[in-house]
Amino acid sequence: MLVVAAALGLAFSQTVLAAPAALAGNPLATASTLPFHYPQFDKIKDEHFIPAFNEGMRQQLKEVDAIANNKAAPSFDNTIVAMEKSGALLTRVQTIFGNLQGANTNDKLDAIDSEMSPKLAAHADAIYLNAKLYARVKALYDKRATLKLDAESEHLLERYHTDFVRAGANLSAADKEKLKAINGTIAKLQTTFTQNVLKETNASGLLVDTREELAGMSPAAIDAAAAAAKAKGQDGKFLVAVVNTSGQPPLAELTNRAVREKLMALSLARGSHGGEFDNRDVVLKIAKARAEKATLLGYENFAAYSLEDQTAHDTASVNKLLSELAKPAVNNARKEAADLQAVVDADKGGFKIDASDWAFYTDKVRAQRFAFDENQLKPYFELNNVLTNGVFYAANKLYGLSFKERKDLPVYNPDVRVFDVFDADGKQLAIFIADMYARSNKQGGAWMNEYISQSSLLGTHSVVANHLNIPKPPAGEPTLLTYDEVKTAFHEFGHALHGMFSNVKYPRFSGTSVPRDFVEYPSQVNEMWAVWPEVLSNYAKHYKTGEPMPKELLDKVLASKKFNQGFLTTEYLSASLLDQRWHQLTPAQIPTDVLAFEAQSLKDMGVDFAPVPPRYRTTYFSHSFSGGYSAGYYAYLWSEKLDADTVEWFKENGGLQRKNGDWFRAKLLSRGGTDDAMNLFRNFRGRDPVIEPLLERRGLNGK
């Protein structure tokens, strides 16, 4: 997943200026003097953020006012480039704050987030609804054909014009005021939703009394559960933490069905069972406010508004893709359920398979069919080997990159690692931050973000970070990953490469500044190297003996790649379809009962198969209701269509070779948002994408 914290979408300068008097002694006042403007985590305190936010907004409004009231005729330099350079302080503050609030939050940061979110929304409105500023942008846009701009500059002008129009610049004065109020409401509600999800997740761990109840989990995992319970004041008991997806990793291991049922029920009920973190009312208010915003801007619904600016363009295209895949996916899932039920019946289980049983019996079927289970893999997937001898190794072979860990730069948590990244010519390209372990004050899932974005206009280079949520083992124990966690490490580094390889002039287009349904594409492509034989043999070594993973075990892993795809596709499609249903409502269609609407929607769409619940239920669906992927969760599947086609290209052209990496980098990864996203794909691939490789991968082609 990608997370980018940035001020308004406008760019920023890293020029080191004198600190304003209001920020005397505040390390956020000026750009960091550390390499590549790497953040001064050791000096930044919680109390520095609010004054820096306020001063940053004041400064940017002053800069924007000067642009809007410039007596000189509008020019590309005095309007568009000037806006690209505005907001240095605010963007620095908002970027660092947003990243820390996701990765290392606390009550103070949460309170700041609640206070600043509506203020920042109002600040954005003050810029994008500035009539004089928009008049200058529109004047340039209307005569863009005569300005003789280079392609990137012309695209930048077009994007600014689009941004202003979509922000409401053409509305009447009265409607602009309505929009400002709605934007403030949405910002506040999204913050509430996000904080409720994290707090509910932390409060929802499964507490049991004995080790025996956790039979099937590894001794180290049970010890970790004992330590977690002790940390919560429950010494002698065992606390199984939950993650933000519906499915929970221990469900694959727990032999006690009653315990599995409790864990599954606890997971599915999050945010919808009363109490201070209940998100049902928040969901309804967000859905209504977004629908009202879309109506005010002239769109049928929020999904139509959101999708217009994506490569999918409209709801019809997204609905068609999802509906075409839903039936074959559920049919596959039902066949898989029958296989699982056969194992239950053979064991004389005496029960019908449900969501709490799926992962446990899937491993049994996998073991029968392919003669291995996931736990056989973990000893070969030690975290440091995966990162340095897998993820980094593939990047070296494909792109010529090299990495050197450094211990001298400050970090916000002792587990965070920092690496200098060098290009094939030996010049430093970027700084990479690896934050791999789960923490109670860290949002769920995995994501990439940028602290500094590349721009030749500003002379900046990338500082990017990857975040995973791998359970930290007890002291002295190795960190052994699941196969999914290995794939996630490669996936998130695909985002990092997209950021680090950026070679653009304007920061508005830097790195991952592309449509949401395109941004996951390069990261999904990078997953292919996790099981590429040359790469895997370099990192998949037993953590004790150093012996490589046996070829027969790898062969079984590869043979099982289509296994359980009915489940995986159905749980993803269910969430994607829910996301669309919520955001294709008009204000008058907003329901009163969240869970009833969710159940009816799943039934209407033919994906109401109880053993396979949505990957995210509505009340903890952060992708959808925290703003990042609202009406856009389909993007992973849309991007996977491009990804699957690209994987075929790599295979057709010899796989892990520099010539292939250099072509992918030059034609696509380095280009950021400087051109229409699908044009970038066509320039790389030589044609439009085809869907057959995706159907083959997902086992949806009947083979």
**216 secondary structure, DSSP code:** T
Q: How far is CA 208 from the centre of its chain?
A: 32
The pLDDT value recorded for residue 703 is: 54
Write out the two tokens for 218.
Answer: 């590894």
For residue 437, give the 3-state DSSP assignment.
strand
- At residue 20, the pLDDT reads 67
Nearest to 302 by CA among 643, 690, 634, 580: 580
Give tens-digit pLDDT for 552-579.
888 887 788 788 999 999 999 999 999 9
Instruction: Kindly tell me if the per-residue pLDDT of 16 is higher than 70.
Output: no
Residue 235: pLDDT band by 50, 70, 90 thresholds? Answer: very high
Averaged over 436-440, what is the pLDDT? 93
pLDDT at 444: 81
First to last CA, the chain: 30
pLDDT at 702: 62
What confidence tier does 699 reach under pLDDT thresholds 50, 70, 90? confident
pLDDT at 5: 42
Q: Which pLDDT value is given to residue 1? A: 52
User: Taking 80 as the threshold, does the pLDDT of residue 501 lie above it?
Assistant: yes
What are the tens digits of pLDDT across the range 337-353?
999 999 999 999 999 99
Q: Give the list of residues 6+ apart from residue 542 with CB closer than 8 angstroms, or none.
A: 379, 380, 548, 549
- Contact between 405 and 411 under an 8 Å Cβ cutoff? The reply is no
pLDDT for 628 = 79
Q: What is the pLDDT of residue 445?
A: 84
Confidence band for 685, pLDDT divided at 50, 70 and 90 = very high
Predicted local confidence at residue 22, as pLDDT: 76
| Model confidence pLDDT, tens digit, residues 267-281 | 999 999 999 999 999
Phi then psi dihedrals of residue 273, to 5 deg: -125, 30
Most confident of 196-200, 253-257, 363-367: 253-257
Cα separation, 364 vs 306, in Å, equals: 42
Q: Is 367 a residue whose pLDDT tops 80?
A: yes
* Other beta carbons within 10 Å of 604: 11
Integer Cα distance of 129 and 144 in angstroms: 22
Residue 435 has pLDDT above 70, yes or no: yes
Residue 9 pLDDT more than 50? no
Distance (Å, rounded) from C-alpha 285 to C-alpha 279?
10
Please write the tens of the pLDDT for every residue from 597-621.
999 999 999 999 999 999 999 999 9
DSSP for 589-612, written as a single string:
G--S-HHHHHHHHHHHTT---TTS
Q: How confident is the model at residue 19 (pLDDT cuts 50, 70, 90)?
A: low
Is residue 264 within 8 Å of 248, Cβ to Cβ?
yes
CB 401 within 8 A of CB 424: yes
SS3 for 270?
coil
CB 133 within 8 A of CB 70: no
Residue keyed to tokens 């329901």:
591
Q: Which two tokens stand for residue 15?
A: 């020029």
**pLDDT at residue 373, as a whole number:** 76
pLDDT > 70 fraction of the chain, expressed in percent and rounded: 97
Phi–psi pair at 437, nearest 5 degrees:
-95, 150
What would the two tokens of residue 228 be?
A: 């977690």
pLDDT tens digit sequence for 34-52: 999 999 999 999 999 999 9
Distance of CA 324 to the CA centre of its chain: 25
Triad 562, 566, 570: Cα angle to 5°: 135
Tens-digit pLDDT profile for residues 167-218: 999 999 999 999 999 999 999 999 999 999 999 988 889 999 999 999 999 9
**What pLDDT does residue 193 have?**
96
Residue 466, pLDDT > 60, answer: yes
- Under the banding of pLDDT at 50, 70 and 90, the label for residue 17 is very low
Q: Are 225 and 214 in contact (CB under 8 A)?
A: yes
Does the pLDDT value for residue 3 go beyond 60?
Answer: no
* pLDDT value of residue 6: 40
What are the catalytic residues?
492
Q: H or E element: which one contains 283?
A: helix 280-296
Q: How far is CA 236 from CA 223, 229, 263, 684, in A?
A: 11, 8, 19, 58
pLDDT score for 559: 81
Query: CB count, 10 Å around CB of 308?
Result: 14
pLDDT at 552: 86
pLDDT, residue 195, reads 94
pLDDT tens digit string along 93-116? 999 999 999 999 999 999 999 999
Using pLDDT thresholds of 50, 70 and 90, give the confidence band for residue 10: very low
Q: How far is CA 195 from the centre of its chain?
A: 17
